[in-house]
Amino acid sequence: MLTTNTVLNLPLTKKQNLLECRICGAPAQYVNFGVITCNSCKMFFRRNANMEQKTFKCHFDGDCNIKRDNRYMCASCRLKKCFQYGMTTDKFRPSRPTKSLVKIEPRYQSKKLSILNSLKPVHSLLTTSQ
C-alpha cells in the first residue's frame, strides 16, 4: 500500500526521486555528512575527505562545473564543492577495530595428537617378572 506525502500529495516512491545531489545533480535519497548527496558523491567524500586538498590538483583553473556526467573528471573541484556545501568529516563513524592476525591451529590437530599418543606402546615401570 502506497502512502502519500501530505505536502506534495504524491506517492512516497515518486517523492524519493525529487531530491537532487547538491554536488553533481544526480538523483539522491538521503542526507550524507550533512548534505543531500547521491551515493557516488557520498563514497567519494568518505574516501577523500581526510586527505589534504593539496593532494588533488585541478587541471582546469580550479573552477570546474561538477555535473553528473563529468564528476569523475576533477577530484579537486569535486572535493572543494563538497566542503563548500557543508559536508563535514565529524559525521564519519569511527572505523571498526580490526582483529589481529593470529595463527589458529585447526581443531582436529589436538585430537590427532592425542590419538597418536594413545597408539604408542606404553613403557611402564613393570618388569617381566611382575
Q: Tens of pLDDT along 75-104?
A: 999 999 999 999 988 877 766 666 666 665
Structural domains of the chain sorted by starting position, each given as residue range(s) with its CATH number in brackets: 12-92 (3.30.50.10)
Residue 22 contacts residue 36 (beta carbons within 8 Å):
yes
Query: Does 69 score more than 50 pLDDT?
Result: yes
Average pLDDT, the chain: 77
Q: Which three-class secondary structure state does DSSP give residue 96?
A: coil
Helix (H) and strand (E) counts in the chain: 4, 2
Assign 6 a pLDDT band (cuts: 50, 70, 90): very low
Assign 60 a pLDDT band (cuts: 50, 70, 90): confident
In this prediction, residue 62 carries a pLDDT of: 87
Q: What is the DSSP string of 28-77?
A: --EEETTEEE-HHHHHHHHHHTTS-GGGS--SSTT-----TTTTTT-HHH
Q: Grid coordinates in use for 63?
A: 573552477
